[in-house]
Amino acid sequence: MTELLLGQVLSFAGDPFTLGPDAARHESHGAVVIKDGKIAATGPADAMRAAYPQARVTDYGRALISAGFIDAHAHFPQTAMIASWGKRLIDWLNSYTFPEESRFGEPAYAQEVARRYFDLTLAYGTTSTCSFCTIHPESVDAYFTAAALHGQRVWGGKTCMDRNAPDFLRDTAQTGYDQSKALLAKWHGAGRASYAITPRFSPTSTPDQLAAMGALWAENPDCLMQTHLSEQTDEVAWVKSLFPTARDYLDTYESFGLLGKGGLYGHAIYLEPREKDRLREVDASLIHCPTSNTFIGSGLFDMDGLKSAGHRIGLATDTGGGSSFSMLRTMAAAYEVAQLRGRALHPAELWWLATQGSARALHADHLIGNIAPGMEADLTILDLSSTPAIEQATRRAETLWQALFPTIMLGDDRAIRATWIAGKPVK
């Protein structure tokens, strides 16, 4: 069955950080045609109705049809411990993260949390995620299995740690390599699943394990590699003490083959000039996690400076260090962080980051993150008057951006009217 969705349609012809808001395309009375899980056409509603008279019509009225949100850095095993009180990064890991992650060797628990995680993210309009799992292969199986229930495009991988973690959460350089290799062979390219090689961060991996992960990436260069970089000042100091001969934090990855295009580096707040230059030279992806950076007191990401310098940047919740599953809330936090650095991000820039920007960071912008013929039909439908506070603001709007910005700043799951995955409504 060909599907015809009617509503306001928002898409992008380019990056609004370089082209300005005119990079966005807004059809106020538009339509999206879906066939075989992909977008077949988009344009004015009347023209699409005439071209596809047999299509099944879903009329969303004045709701906004957008590409689905893409969360480029998350920790699904931390779902149950989101919004835990009062810790910075290292204490957070020891007090909350490691005890919770220890439970994921039990398949039933891992499956329960994975299903709950996707229920929550779909309710907030997130259609794709890139997540760290735990050291347990069972957690990886649970994550990809739960995503496959709706046919979601996702990335994930076994988190590897062989030091500076509790004994019950350590693997070894060899078992980390062997288990990651087996999981990669099992899941990479299975349906819409992609494997991401996943050393947690330099402090929890020995040089031998970092070298093993670098070797695995060299053997599988079509995979992404995800880790953390320069999240907090005390973390950066810790890395310097653990790797006294390294030029900087990034060098602890670069020296072991863990720097390259396809590398995803979460947070990236306290970058030194050499690090910025090398990340840009290899076209690595930096993942901005604003709610996490404020919630656990990490710092203020330099969106304006890094985008102006040509870096590839995605947006993410970093749940559960981040304080919300919502990419709307994440956009709002990105706006607030940028304001503290003296730059008001335009709504077009925020929306691009949560859709096409994150898809580009994951090297999947040819598949997801935009509304255009041939793209996979992962869509979020938004009510731009979902609460009285938002409605009274949008009633005064004279432009799309004036109508959309209140939902970015004030919206929650009530704003998500529907979520479509691969051409089918799932919420």
State the DSSP string of 229-288.
Answer: ES-SHHHHHHHHHH-TT-SSTTHHHHTTT--STTEEEEE--S--HHHHHHHHHHT-EEEE
Q: Which domain holds residue 21?
A: 3-68+369-425
Q: Residue 208: what pLDDT?
A: 98
| 90-103: average pLDDT | 90
Residues in contact with 406: Cβ distance below 8 Å, sequence separation at least 6, in sequence order: 384, 389, 390, 393, 394
Instruction: Give 258's pLDDT tier (boundaries 50, 70, 90).
Output: very high
> Could you count the other beta carbons within 10 Å of the beta carbon of residue 73?
33
Nearest Cα residue to 277 out of 264, 252, 259, 262:
259
For residue 412, count CB atoms less than 10 angstroms from its CB and return exposed for 0-12, middle for 13-18, buried for 19 or more. Answer: middle
Q: Do residue 187 and residue 310 come from a single domain?
A: yes
Q: Do residue 82 and residue 55 come from a single domain?
A: no
Q: Do residue 335 and residue 288 come from a single domain?
A: yes
Q: Do residue 84 and residue 159 come from a single domain?
A: yes
Instruction: Give 205's pLDDT tier (boundaries 50, 70, 90).
Output: very high
Question: Is the model's pLDDT at 317 over the cut of 80?
Answer: yes
Q: Residue 92: what pLDDT?
A: 82
Q: Do residue 49 and residue 180 come from a single domain?
A: no
Q: Residue 281: what pLDDT?
A: 98
Residue 228 identity (one-letter amino acid)? H
Q: Residue 138: what pLDDT?
A: 98
What domain count does the chain have? Answer: 2
Q: Residue 84: what pLDDT?
A: 87
Question: Is the model's pLDDT at 113 over the cut of 80?
Answer: yes
Kindly provide the residue ranges of all beta strands, DSSP E only, lying in 79-206, ordered along the sequence: 126-132, 154-157, 159-160, 193-199
Q: Do residue 77 and residue 143 come from a single domain?
A: yes
Which range has the worst mean pLDDT, 74-78, 284-288, 299-303, 320-324?
320-324
Question: Is the model's pLDDT at 94 over the cut of 90?
Answer: no
Q: Do residue 16 and residue 101 come from a single domain?
A: no
Contact 422, 151 (CB under 8 A): yes
Q: Do residue 110 and residue 142 come from a single domain?
A: yes
Q: Do residue 134 and residue 198 come from a single domain?
A: yes
| 76-96: average pLDDT | 87
Question: Is the model's pLDDT at 11 over the cut of 90?
Answer: yes
How far apart are alpha carbons 201 and 226 in whole angstroms?
9
| 207-220: average pLDDT | 98
Q: Do residue 355 and residue 409 come from a single domain?
A: no
How far apart are alpha carbons 182 and 197 in whole angstroms?
12
| Residue 69 parent element (H or E) | strand 69-75
| Residue 181 parent element (H or E) | helix 173-187
Q: Do residue 373 and residue 288 come from a single domain?
A: no
Note the pLDDT tens digit of each residue in 217-234: 999 999 999 999 999 999
Q: Do residue 169 and residue 313 come from a single domain?
A: yes
Query: Which residue is it, tokens 């960071």?
Result: 361
End-to-end CA distance of the chain: 19
CATH number at residue 62: 2.30.40.10
| pTM of the full structure | 0.98
| 269-279: average pLDDT | 98
The residue from 313, 338, 361 where one domain ends is 361
CATH number at residue 126: 3.20.20.140
Q: Residue 87: what pLDDT?
A: 76
The residue from 361, 389, 413 where one domain ends is 361
